[in-house]
Amino acid sequence: MEQKWVVFQLGENAYGLDVQSVRSIERLQPITRIPNAASYVKGVINLRGVVTPVIDLRTRLGFETLEETEETRIIIATLEHGDAGFIVDRANEVIEAQDVRIEPLPESGNAENAYLTAIAKGEKELFSLLDPNRLFEEIVHA
Do the beta carbons of residue 37 and residue 117 sit within 8 Å?
Answer: no
When asked if residue 50 is in the footprint of other proteins (CB under 8 A), the reply is yes
Residue 114 CA to residue 13 CA, distance in Å, equals 16
Closer to other proteins at the Cβ: 14 or 61? 61
Number of other residues whose CB lies within 10 A of the CB of residue 67: 5
CB of 43 to other proteins, least distance (A): 8
When asked if residue 34 is in the footprint of other proteins (CB under 8 A), the reply is yes
Do the beta carbons of residue 75 and residue 84 sit within 8 Å?
Answer: no
When asked if residue 30 is in the footprint of other proteins (CB under 8 A), the reply is yes
Residue 134 CA to residue 128 CA, distance in Å, equals 14
Closer to other proteins at the Cβ: 4 or 42? 42
CB of 40 to other proteins, least distance (A): 12
Closer to other proteins at the Cβ: 77 or 95? 77
Q: Site for other proteins (CB under 8 A): how many residues? A: 25
When asked if residue 115 is in the footprint of other proteins (CB under 8 A), the reply is no
Stretch that binds other proteins, among 18-26, 34-42, 64-72, 89-97 (CB under 8 A): 34-42
Collapsing DSSP to helix, strand or coil, 57 comes out as helix
In which region does residue 41 sit, left (phi positive, over 0), alpha (psi from -120 to 50) or beta (all else)?
beta
Residue 126 CA to residue 39 CA, distance in Å, equals 29
When asked if residue 86 is in the footprint of other proteins (CB under 8 A), the reply is no
- How long a stretch of residues is the chain? 142
* Positions in the binding site for other proteins (CB under 8 A): 30, 32-37, 41, 43-46, 49-53, 81-84, 136, 139-140, 142
